[in-house]
Amino acid sequence: MSSSPDGHNGKLYIETVGCQMNVLDSELVVAALRKDGYELTDDPKAADTLLFNTCSVREHAEHKIYSSLGRLKYAKRTAPQKVIGVLGCMAQKDQDLIFERAPHVDIVVGTGQLAEIPRLIKETRSAEARQQQKAVSLGRRDGSVLEISSSFQSYDPLRDPEMRPTPFQAFVRIMIGCDKFCTYCVVPATRGPEQSRPPSHILSEVKVLADQGVKEICMLGQTVNSYKHTEDGRTHRLSDLMYAINEVPGIERIRFVTSYPKDMTDDLLHAVRDLPKAVKYLHAPLQHGCNDQLKLMKRGYTVEDYREMMHRIWETIPGCSVSSDFIVGFCGESEESHQLSIASIREFRFKNSFIFKYSERGGTKAASLMKDDIPEDVKKRRNNEMLAVQNEISEEDNAEFIGRRVSVLVEGQSKTAERKAARGEDASAPGDPLATQLMGRSECDRIVVFDGNPRLAGSTCEVEVHDCTGTTLIGSIVTKEVQHGSSGILPILS
Ligand code: 5AD
Ligand code: SF4
């Protein structure tokens, strides 16, 4: 049964929750384990190695992982050779608590030690007696900045095309960690101090990805526009990276998430405006529309500062869309403050907003100094009210696109078509057995669906919009550009 020298069946199951950073980390872990002979399975029962890449931003995400782990208790008892690992933010935050709550877990590996996973799995498997292993970074008060920083290693080795969002899109980490210490947020503890990667490393990774057929690069950082690295006597910022990546043949689109509003400098806005490959979209979370709440959150800006930023964006990059994150029900949030958050959605007309109910996180300033005093039902109601207003705004703004043409990078089948196909139903488009519903994104990051041949995935199409919802533009294809291998772009009129 065993297909490998150290006695595993070669089947790896990995479950990932949380942000894009975790998606990328899982891609890199899988790539490293493939070198040790593993292949992926989506069936936890079939796997001998099960990894959970975790998120700690909200309590709900942690519950999900603890329930998944709970379901494995019996499996581990009957098949003790299975290695179960908990990786990422929750591993860094909870550490030994994970072994206490789920004693059948074998390894706990923080965000800064992912490179050690292949070795830890091997050692766990070959140990004579069962031995739990832990690899985590220092806490934010456990040493000098240099010591803490170097205990969080940036992990960007091999890539794994199968684990990407699509074969044409790849995340590239440009920095790790965060030094902003918003009072509600656990990230500075779980991801460590802010550290920017050298531009030369980033650029060579982008070139490798372009050679593998990647067309869209999404640069990742917790505060991606705070990127700063000195190399060869010169300080490089995010705008410099954008100019450099714009020159890489094969790359067609460049984007970045998530921006910190205070660091939205003009050089970056000019790069987004001037570079043909730059996606005209910024994710710049406001978090709250009331200055008192922003102060309690220690966001470092006021609504007025944010307004100034929005005016600069609108003036510099006409048509640029902006999305936000909001927290509802943060400590002491009054009905009036909540109304100010709602008003901010109307004023800034976000393309979309990710709205979260405040979840108290151990170890944060808010948890130790403030009272989580908004009842759950009030948080829920406020969340729904925010969502309703955001949907109304999104639908109004999407309707502006009706009758216009947008350029779409096709990602593949739409969710609806995928679901139909998964249920074994006919997913072909009405009247065209070769077509199905496709989805992609416009240059301002709007989701667009239209009927077309699935072979268009990875190509850029002109789509005329004739309908919309709050989340989606619905259209039909006008022209398409299909890239054949690396031989260039063939424009085809339909
Ligand atoms: N509770 C709820 N939402 C949070 N976020 C970060 N920390 C918390 C928390 N403790 C939200 C913020 C952030 C997004 C990724 O998650 O809005 O931008
Ligand atoms: Fe968390 Fe604030 Fe850093 Fe974002 S900027 S990761 S919300 S501490």
pLDDT confidence bin for 426, thresholds 50/70/90: confident
- Bridge partners, 171 (sequence order): 218
> Across all residues in the chain, what is the average pLDDT?
92
How far, in Å, from the CA of 261 to the mean position of ligand 2? Answer: 11
Predicted local distance difference test score (pLDDT) of residue 130: 81
Q: Ligand 2 atom closest to Cα of 188? A: 8
Predicted local distance difference test score (pLDDT) of residue 489: 42
What mean pLDDT is predicted for residues 311-334? 97
Predicted local distance difference test score (pLDDT) of residue 131: 86
The distance from CA 257 to its chain's CA centroid, rounded to whole angstroms, is: 8
Q: Ligand 2 atom closest to Cα of 260? A: 5
* 3-state secondary structure (DSSP) of residue 490: strand
Q: Are 94 and 393 within 8 A, CB to CB? A: no
Residue 243, amino acid: Y
Closest CA to 94 of 81, 105, 79: 105
pLDDT confidence bin for 486, thresholds 50/70/90: very low
Instruction: Give the list of residues 6+ apart from residue 491 with CB closer than 8 angstroms, or none.
Output: 479, 481
Predicted local distance difference test score (pLDDT) of residue 492: 45
How far, in Å, from the CA of 263 to the mean position of ligand 2? Answer: 13
Q: Ligand 1 atom closest to Cα of 366? A: 10
Closest CA to 196 of 176, 220, 215: 176
pLDDT digits (tens, 9 = 90+) for 328-353: 999 999 999 999 999 999 999 999 99
Q: How far apart are CA 288 and CA 295, in angstroms?
A: 10
Predicted local distance difference test score (pLDDT) of residue 487: 36
pLDDT confidence bin for 6, thresholds 50/70/90: low
How far, in Å, from the CA of 315 to the mean position of ligand 1? Answer: 29
The hierarchical CATH code for the domain 148-396 is 3.80.30.20
pLDDT digits (tens, 9 = 90+) for 45-100: 999 999 999 999 999 999 999 999 999 998 888 888 899 999 999 999 999 999 99
Q: From the CB of 57, is ligand 1 less than 6 Å away?
A: yes
Q: How far apart are CA 107 and CA 98, in angstroms?
A: 9
**What angle, 0 to 180 degrees and rounded to 10, lies between the N-to-C axes of helices 238-246 and 266-274?**
20
**Residue 400, Cβ density class (10 Å: 0-12 exposed, 13-18 middle, ≥19 buried):** exposed
Q: Which of 182, 194, 258 to mutate to test the pocket of ligand 2 (most atoms within 8 A of CB)?
A: 182
Q: Are 413 and 438 within 8 A, CB to CB? A: yes
How far, in Å, from the CA of 440 to the mean position of ligand 1? Answer: 27
Q: Are 331 and 296 within 8 A, CB to CB? A: yes
Instruction: Give the list of residues 6+ apart from residue 433 with CB closer than 8 angstroms, or none.
Output: none
Q: Is the pLDDT of residue 494 over 80?
A: no
CATH 3.40.1000 is right for the domain spanning 405-493? no
The distance from CA 451 to its chain's CA centroid, rounded to whole angstroms, is: 27
The domain spans of the chain are: 11-140, 148-396, 405-493
Superfamily name with CATH number, domain 11-140: Methylthiotransferase, N-terminal domain (3.40.50.12160)
Q: From the CB of 260, is ligand 1 less than 6 Å away?
A: no
Count CA atoms within 13 Å of residue 280 on its CB side. Answer: 19
Q: Is the pLDDT of residue 483 over 80?
A: no
Share of residues in the chain with pLDDT > 70 (%): 95
Q: From the CB of 184, is ligand 1 less than 6 Å away?
A: yes
Q: Are 411 and 441 within 8 A, CB to CB? A: yes
Q: Are strands 432-441 and 405-413 parallel, antiparallel or unpaired?
A: antiparallel
How far, in Å, from the CA of 379 to the mean position of ligand 2? Answer: 21
What mean pLDDT is predicted for residues 218-233? 96
Q: How far apart are CA 115 and CA 33, in angstroms?
A: 10
Predicted local distance difference test score (pLDDT) of residue 4: 54
Share of residues in the chain with pLDDT > 90 (%): 79
Q: From the CB of 356, is ligand 1 less than 6 Å away?
A: yes
Predicted local distance difference test score (pLDDT) of residue 372: 98
Predicted local distance difference test score (pLDDT) of residue 482: 55
DSSP category for residue 262: G
Q: From the CB of 287, is ligand 1 less than 6 Å away?
A: yes
Predicted local distance difference test score (pLDDT) of residue 480: 65
Predicted local distance difference test score (pLDDT) of residue 1: 42
pLDDT digits (tens, 9 = 90+) for 112-161: 999 999 999 999 988 887 889 988 888 878 888 888 878 777 667 677 77
pLDDT digits (tens, 9 = 90+) for 433-442: 888 999 999 9
Q: Are strands 447-452 and 472-483 parallel, antiparallel or unpaired?
A: parallel
Q: In the structure, which protein residues have their CB atom closer than 6 angstroms to any atom of ligand 2?
A: 178, 180-182, 185, 187-188, 222-223, 260
